[in-house]
Structures are given as C-alpha cells and as structure tokens.
Structure 1
Amino acid sequence: MFTGLKDYKIYCHSCMAFYLLLNAPPISYTTSEPERHQEYRASVTFVSSKPHSSSTDDIKPYINKRKYKLAQGKTKDYFTLVNGTLCFTQGTDIPYMQRFNARRQSNRCECHQGWHGIDCGQPEVIWRAFMASREKLTLQRRDRPRKIIHGLAVNFEVTLAEIILNELSQVVDLFIVCESNYTENGDSKPLYFYNRLMGGHLKEIQHKILYISMNFKQVRGNVNYIEMREYLWKESKPLIEDLSPDDLYVSMAVDEIPNSKALLFFKLYDGWPEPIAFRLRWSVFGFFWQHPQRTAIVPGGCTIQMLEGVYGDNPFKMTEDARGYQEVGSELPNHYLVIGDLNHYGGWYCNWCLEPRDIVAALQQSSTTANSVIKWDNVGSKIDVPYVEDLIGSGLWLDGTTQLLRKSQSRDSYFAPEYVLNNSWTYDSLLVNFYSKLDY
C-alpha cells in the first residue's frame, strides 16, 4: 500500500524505468528552476558559444561590442538533383526515384507521404493552408534562403524556451530572447534563462541567441509580455547588420511552438501571402492532455517590410487585431494565412506546461484579470502544489471543471514537437503523466 504521493511517485518511476532507459540519450535531466548566479546588469547581451569547450569562461557574453551579421546560405543546399530534376530533399523519396524513374524516363519528383508540390517542397500544413485560402499563388524557389528572426519573452518557462530554440535551430537564423527580472505585478525574480545560459545550456546554438534583459518595472501594469515584445525588437534591431525587407520576423509566446517544416517553407520560397498565423494544438500540463473545446490560432509572422510599414515596427501590433480568436470553429480576419487545421496542426501551444510548483509560483506572481479564460470564481484560494498535481493526474484544467482529452503518442501524429520526442529522457514529464494512476 502507498502511504502518500511520494511513495506513489517512486512506484511510478520504477514502472517507467524500462521505458526511460530505452529512450535515454547521454544528456543530463534539466529542471524548470535554474540555479541562481551573480546579479546581471547589462541590458543587451550577445552570447557567443564555443561548442567543444566545457569552461563557462568560454561563453561569457559580449556586451554591445559588435553588430550581428546573419549567416546566408544557399537554397540549393536543401535540394537534390535526381535524374535531371531538382527536388526538395526532405520531402522526396530519392531512393525510389533513383531505382525507378531512370528506367521510366520520368522527371517527376516522387514525394514522401505528407509532402506536396512539383518539387515536393510543401509540407502538409502548408499545402492545406494554400488550398483553404483559395488564392491563386505563384510560388517561386528563392536563390538564397530568407533569413528568419524569432523573438520571444521568457518568464518561468525556461524549459519551453529551450525546446523552441532546439526545435527551430536548423531553420531560424537568430533568436532574440528577452527576460525581465520583474514579474507582472512588480515583484523581483531571478533571470532564470540567463542563468541557464551561463551554466552552459544551449552552448551548441548560443551563437544564434541575442539575449536582452529588461531590468526595470513595466510602466503599464500587468502587460509584461506586451511590453517585452516591443522592447526586445526595439533594442535588438539596430544590432542586426544585414536585415532585408523580405526577411521573416516571428513573434510568438514562449509556450507557442510553430511548426518547423512550415517555417522552412517560408525560408525557401516566395509568393505566399502574409501576415502568417498558426493554428496550434492546445496541450495542457504536457502533451498527454489536450483541451476539448479550444485550439489556439496565433498570429505570429510577417516580413520586415510589413512589420515596418503596416505595424509601425511594433511586433505586438502584428497580433493585436486578432486576439481572442481561440475557440474551435472561430476564424481570423481574411488577410491572415492560417497554417494548420483541426487535424494537421501548425504547431503546439503548451498551456501551463510547467512543474506544479512553478505553476503555483506563476499564478501567485501574475495578476488574474477579469477576461481570463480560467474561471477564477470556481478555483477560489485552493491553488497549491497538491491541488495542481491532482489536476494534472485527473486531467482537469485550472478552472477545476473542464475535463481534458487524453492523448496517445502512438496514435497522434502531432503529439509533440520532434525534438521533444527525440529527447524523451529529458522531457519525460511532458510526455508521460506521472500523476495519473491510469498511465500505469
């Protein structure tokens, strides 16, 4: 018999030992609460990495000492010439073409399942978005890849931030990460993400990270993330040397993970309409629960030219005219190209995907506004760690009434981002519900 939650957790982890050992790469487990380091005073920091060195001295930040020049690749690196036909490598069954097309004298690219287009360069979510838009498009392959800049603000969600950076690191050219040492209600807090960088995390991609600290209290009340989105772009843009009008800027919350295949398409092709929005799978507490009535439709990207000319160079205004469009069946204004539908998602929204203690801390250090999706009258004052653990185990949303849908990794092709699935040992708490008896 179990004498308490602690004994039950030990039993659960024992039951899962074989699963975890099978999926364990040589990487240490990360938690959502970093160690505290020395006080940070600079406002803008470039983090430079030397991947093969373990010394923290090698990843000390450069503070306003140089401009940042984005790398410029070649589009042809993403394509393969087969039997005289140029095909998108990732989306094409090249061995099949090499075996059969030469004999049949066919110059058609043979696409993998889930890929479309003449050169197999359109992933399923892009192809469906174009079909749904019913616009006549003239898509053209670019000579050079479009540069992509992704700006995000971090509070407690350090683990989710690391997932985003690793999931998109092969597509995004520069991540601008903004972190404040104040909460929405003005309380001071550690710079969690910065401390992780100084501890050696993400050292393989730190050369792509422009870190900005917002070390002053917000002046507009509980609009922390709104002001951070504006601030990070204002501070970082002058430091980027080679921005082009057709480069893509992505502005999404740290718990919103866009589909990397969709971003890669935007990187390699011209002729698509903008601005871009993503229909995200609404996961709760982890990828094992899904909200039954909601899907997140998140405006998230446009070119630098549109950002400057239409939105006054303010990333938040890019999303302002479409806030609240999150109910299933709701639609965005017609000028958005929406990536993803109810069966093929444009990414993941991982709602409250934190450790229970961090969920409680986030709720305590943020304001509960009247238009919150959580019914706070039903919750009352019972939010504590055991209460949150019970919600995760039973699959109830934070309102204490909405029953979440149980999802299966084996049956759901959009269960979680690829990086999370490939690193299941590190992110096991997001893949397996350790608080549910039914999972064992």
Structure 2
Amino acid sequence: MKMIENTREDDIFLLLDADELPTKEALIFLKLFDGWREPVKFGFRWTVFGFFWLKAEDPGQLESIPLIGKLFSRKKQERLLTLYTVCTLGMLSTVYGDNAMLLRRNVWNNTLLHDRLNNYTANHPKIQEWTLGNIGHYAGHHCSWCYSPEGIRLKLEAAQRHDKPRWGDYPDKLNLKYIQELIRTGGWFDGSKPFISVPRTKNDTGLFAPDYILNSNLFQYLVKPPS
C-alpha cells in the first residue's frame, strides 16, 4: 500500500489468486454502481484441470458409504465457489489494518477488531456481506490445477509439507500418463471422480471460459481434454 499514491478510501480493493479470474462485467459493475455494501464475495464457476470439468458438490454422508451410497446416489450438482475478494480501501485500512488475508478469512466481526469496526462504521454504512455472482451468472472462473501434465507434476512435487494428503509423496501419482488419464477422465488422486463433464458449445458467450482463453492458442489444452 505504501507504493500506491493518490488513493481514496472508496477505491476498490480486490484480492485474487492467480487461478481466480474475474469477469469484466463484475469489475465494471463494482466500478460504476454506487451503493453496494462490503465485504463482497465472488461466486466463481469452479473447474478443475481445465474448463471442461466442473467441481461437483461433495457427496452426502450416506452417498460416501460404499454399497449404501449406490442406493442413495443422485445426479451430481455443480458447486459454486464463493470467496471473499472485495472491499474498499477504507475498510481494508481501518478494519483490517491493510492485512488482505483478514478480508479473505472474513474476520471483520472478530472481537479483536471490534474497536476498528466501530471506528469505520461511525462514518460509513453498517457492514453487510453479500455475494456477486451465482450459478449461470458467475462473477468469474476459478480454474484449479489448470496446467499441462508436466505442470501438475511440478505442482505435486512443490506442495508444502503440511498439505495433506501430499500426493507428490507417492511416485505413481507423478507418472505423466497417470496424470493425463486423470485429466481425460475427470478422476482424482484418491480414485474418485468428483467432477461434471461440460463440453464447449458453439454458442458459448464466455460462460464456459473467458474469451481470452478461448481465443488464444496458448491455452487450448485447458479448453479440450486430451484424447
């Protein structure tokens, strides 16, 4: 923040990881519309390995039990990923003390921040969380593990030690043919298949993937799974 000049407290701050891709429409809305409350969650379309596999909702308790799960199985439902990504610079500074991770962790109502919160709401509207984007009308795309097989292997090898399970510790999980098969079939490292196939359509309007992904030769491996 010390490197940024000429800021105003109603300027918009966004916290996004490299695999969280906001839509242009969501950003324009925040820029032009006056009156939205903070902090803001973005509703992301959550895909894995590429834009052709949607993350499904986790199975229920009965569905997760072998044999019994078959009796209670149901059609997989898409899971909307919601993450706290937006607040004003005023809230970031006064409430969060310029610590962006406090925004991501949504701790504005923590008792340790009570005095900071009171100072902020004394001259601003009361804090009110809300979500921008839902299924079918997303505020962005979240593409997890969206690499080539070689990139996924590197990610496995580079995972932090406290990440559990650390699949990179198992040599068979690092095999490129094995990784490519996961990408092709929508499988996961634990043997499950927790994704929903979503083929690209001719009339896609940015719902499947951002236009700059679809129109670039660099990212075609994220648009169509390996044959």
Question: Which TM class, normalised by the smaller chain length?
Answer: 0.7 to 0.9
Report the secondary structure of 2:86's partner residue. Answer: strand
Q: How far 1:269 moved relative to its partner? A: 2.2
Q: What does residue 417 of structure 1 align with? A: 210
Letter of the aligned partner of 2:156 in structure 1?
L
CA RMSD across the alignment: 2.2
Alignment-derived partner of residue 141 in structure 2:
348
What's 1:258 paired with? Answer: 22
| Residue ranges of structure 1 left out of the alignment (5+ in a row) | 1-236, 323-333
Corresponding residue of 1:396? 187
- Measured after TM superposition, the shift of residue 282 of structure 1 is 0.9
Q: How does 1:104-183 map to 2 (within 5 A)?
A: none
CA distance in 2, matches of 1:275, 1:418: 28
The residue type equivalent to 1:388 in the other structure is I
Q: What is the TM-score normalised by the length of structure 2?
A: 0.73
2:20 is aligned with what amino acid?
Answer: E
1:382 aligned to 2:182?
Answer: no
CA distance in 2, matches of 1:311, 1:387: 44
Alpha-carbon distance, 1:262 to partner: 1.1
Provide the secondary structure at the position in 1 that maps to 2:91: helix
Q: 1:243 aligns with which of 7, 15, 27?
A: 7
- Report the residue type matching 2:196 in the other structure: L
Asked if 1:432 corresponds to 2:217, the answer is no
| Contact 2:42–2:82, Cα closer than 8 Å, also in 1 | yes
Query: Could you tell me which residue of structure 2 aligns to residue 62 of structure 1?
Result: none
1:274 aligns with 2:67: no
Q: Distance in 2 between matches of 1:390 and 1:247?
A: 45
Q: 1:412 Cα shift?
A: 5.9
Deviation, 1:241, is: 1.5
Whether the 8 Å CA contact 1:376–1:399 is kept in 2: the answer is no
Size of the alignment, in residue pairs?
183
C-alpha distance in 2 between matches for 1:346 and 1:398: 29
Describe the SS at the equivalent of 1:262.
Answer: helix
Please tell me the residue identity of whatever aligns with 1:291.
Answer: K
Per-residue CA shift, 1:358-394, capped at 9, x if unaligned? 1111111112546x5xx668x9542112211110111
Change (3 A) 1:420 1:359: same
Work out whether residues 290 and 404 of structure 1, in 8 Å CA contact, stay in contact via their aligned partners in 2.
yes
CA 1:387–1:368: 2 relative to 1, 3 Å: farther
Q: In the superposition, relative to structure 1, how do residues 255 and 407 fare at CA in structure 2: closer, same or farther (>3 Å)?
A: same
Q: Which has the larger radius of gyration?
A: 1
- Cα distance per residue 1:177-211 (max 9 Å; x no partner): xxxxxxxxxxxxxxxxxxxxxxxxxxxxxxxxxxx
Query: Which residues of structure 2 form unaligned runs of 5+?
Result: 58-78, 108-126
Normalising by structure 1, what TM-score? 0.39
Cα displacement (A) at 1:421: 2.0
Is 2:41–2:86's contact at 8 Å kept on the other side of the alignment?
Answer: yes
Partner deviation per Cα, 1:340-364 (whole Å, 9 max, x = no partner): 1122211111010011111111111
